[in-house]
Amino acid sequence: MPKEDAELAGSSAATAKDSNEVPPVENAIKETDASVPASAPGSVSVSASGSSGSATPPPANEEADEAELLERMRGDAVGETMYSSRFILQTVMKLVQLQPDSPLEQQLEDDLCKVWDMSVSPEVVTLLLENDAVDPIMYSLIDGCEDVRLYEILIGLLGNMCAQVECAELLTCSPQSMETLFKLANCLDTGMLIQLMRLYQYIMAHVLSGKEQFAVDWYVCFAAFENSAQNLGRILQQSVSDELLIAALKATNAILASCALVEEENANSSLNLKPFAEVFLVQELCDGVNSAFLRLMRDDQAKLADEEGGEENGEIPTAAGVAPTDNEEDADVGYKSCAPKITCDVEIIQTYLNICTILVQLPEAQASMDVYAPSIVNCLTRILQFLQQPLQLIPLGERQEEYLEDLAHIWSRLKYCYQKEAFTNLLEVWYRLKQHTDNYTEKDEEASEFEEDDEEDAPKEQYVENAFKMLRLLACVLIKAESADLQEMSKEKVRLFVASLKAEEDAEFSKALESLSDYTDNESAGQA
């Protein structure tokens, strides 16, 4: 198995599409059947003699030639596409001719990339499955040419094919195939690992009930393969590629959610599945999930520093995903702009919260929660900081409510672990919800045209409900704190917090007030 440096990973699916586009029809007619697909936009598969003839044929002959060419194209086309079935199948069959010590020829690489591109079509996938194309692909991965570029292309092709559940079933019913796919996680090539993580995710996407045989087969193989969860954790811990980290987090989320469902629905069966916690609750995976999330949530200054560092090392920097840090940009929101900003795909936050929710609710996790809690709270703090940015918390929507719900649940499973920075940011989020509730005004029916174009705000009841949820979370965290230093926090926010606790007849709030007795006594003495 090759273990090439991750710097070789510049070859990805996008590269394949950019550098290996299917030739135009007018040029493709001159190529041979074995090397050119018929596609639109793409190329047609005809013999060299099919394009021979007079340069200026009579109109009748020209029409006849065009009709004959069109008929040939239709006969070789895959379904309703203009892709050449002959080209696709001949290209795939060339894989069995590869030897372990033979290099991947450029022409074959180009042709495989074209097939990879074509495999986004369901009709092409059906053609490949009907002609047992999985066999030569797996042969190349197991015994064929040891080339990471070839691995990347073939794993990407399998990922597209797994859009149909039949392909997922073919892979998972073969322990040898599954072992190969798990072994590839030890490779260091970024491009190949991205495709491998997507393949894992695509297979798991078909798990609906937890009783599908291929889902059970996956669970058994994953649990039996040595260090399978640790390998996922290693990728999450060591990679510096944001694209790979995102793909790995999504794959981890899909695997955990699906395997948890498999174990739950087969708990009383005769399968004797290995316990879920024993397979997945490992230090490497937990640490990897947290470290990957914090890296993806780094602010713009950190991203810029990474780019500058890459430029010094001869890498080409990219500004993708980096938002402007102009302090005037959000001046109309009502809060001070957060500079530098945290810019990330909001889907990543929900993915992390999903993973965290699955792991922390395991009974086995409670025994070692002191080990996991600090790192998880650091991640929750980062989410709270993200929510304090303009337009991320208010107007309140379904996404924000899901964040707050998951935050409260996860924190409860962490035994309300107290960290001063986390408490300060939680207090700030609650304060903004409380302020918005107190200042809430119903929209005027005769509002100006400009105001009507603004995003519609959530009902006041939603703000009240979520503010109360955060108030309760603050109280519970405060109760568990051995010593809560509020002296350096905003006095205005702390006073409002204390007043809100006093306004509710609640046992938890009363306990929180008792833990604040020193602070309230000092405040009373100061006022006197």
What integer pLDDT is reported at residue 523 of this predicted model?
A: 60
| CA pair distance 28, 161, nearest whole angstrom | 26
pLDDT of residue 33: 42
pLDDT at position 51: 39
Between 138 and 526, residue with greater pLDDT: 138
d(CA 50, CA 29): 8
Angle (nearest 5°) at CA 223 between 222 and 226:
85
Q: How far is residue 465's CA from residue 396's CA, in Å, rounded to a whole number?
A: 11
Residue pair 204/244 in contact (Cβ under 8 Å)? The answer is no
- pLDDT(484) > 50: yes
Query: Is the model's pLDDT at 140 over the cut of 50?
Result: yes
Q: Give the range among 126-130, 340-344, 360-364, 404-408 with minimum mean pLDDT.
A: 340-344
With cut-offs at 50, 70 and 90, classify the pLDDT of residue 321.
very low
Average per-residue pLDDT for the chain: 82
**pLDDT (mean) for 259-283:** 93
- DSSP readout, 288-353? HHHHHHHHHT-BHHHHHHHHHHHHHTT-----TTPPP--TTTTTTSSS---SS-B---HHHHHHHH
* pLDDT for the residue 146: 83
Say which residues have a Cβ less than 8 Å from residue 451's Cβ, sequence separation at least 6.
443, 444
Say if residues 254 and 332 touch (Cβ distance below 8 Å): no
pLDDT exceeds 50 at position 107: yes
Q: How confident is the model at residue 267 (pLDDT cuts 50, 70, 90)?
A: confident
Four-residue CA torsion sign, 232, 238, 241, 246: positive
Burial of 445 (0-12, 13-18, 19+ CB in 10 A): exposed
pLDDT band at 503; cut points 50, 70, 90 = very high
The string of pLDDT tens digits covering residues 514-523 is 988 766 656 6
Task: Compute CA distances 179 → 99, 138, 140, 422, 497, whole Å.
Answer: 21, 11, 14, 42, 55
Asked if 152 contacts 15 with a C-beta cutoff of 8 angstroms, the reply is no
- Residue 212 exposure: Cα atoms within 13 Å on the Cβ side: 20
pLDDT at 18 over 60: no
Residue 337 has pLDDT above 80, yes or no: no
How high is the pLDDT of residue 278? 95
Range picked from 15-29, 273-287, 451-465 for highest mean pLDDT: 273-287
- The residue that leads in pLDDT, 441 or 66, is 441
Residue 122: per-residue pLDDT: 96
Report pLDDT for 324. Answer: 39
What's the pLDDT score for residue 517?
78
Classify each residue of 317-353 as buried b or exposed e, where b means 16 or more C-beta atoms within 10 Å of its C-beta: eeeeebbebeeeebeeeeeebbebbbbbeeebbebbb
Percent of the chain predicted with pLDDT > 70: 76
CA 143 to chain centre: 31
Show me where the domains of the chain are located.
381-439+458-527
pLDDT the model gives residue 495: 92
Mind listing the pLDDT tens digit for each residue in 146-158?
899 999 999 999 9
26 compared with 208, residue with greater pLDDT: 208
The answer to whether the beta carbons of residues 364 and 277 sit under 8 Å apart is: yes
Q: What was the pLDDT predicted at 353?
A: 98
383-398, pLDDT tens digit by residue?
999 999 999 999 999 9
Whether pLDDT at 282 is above 70: yes
pLDDT for residue 323 is more than 70: no
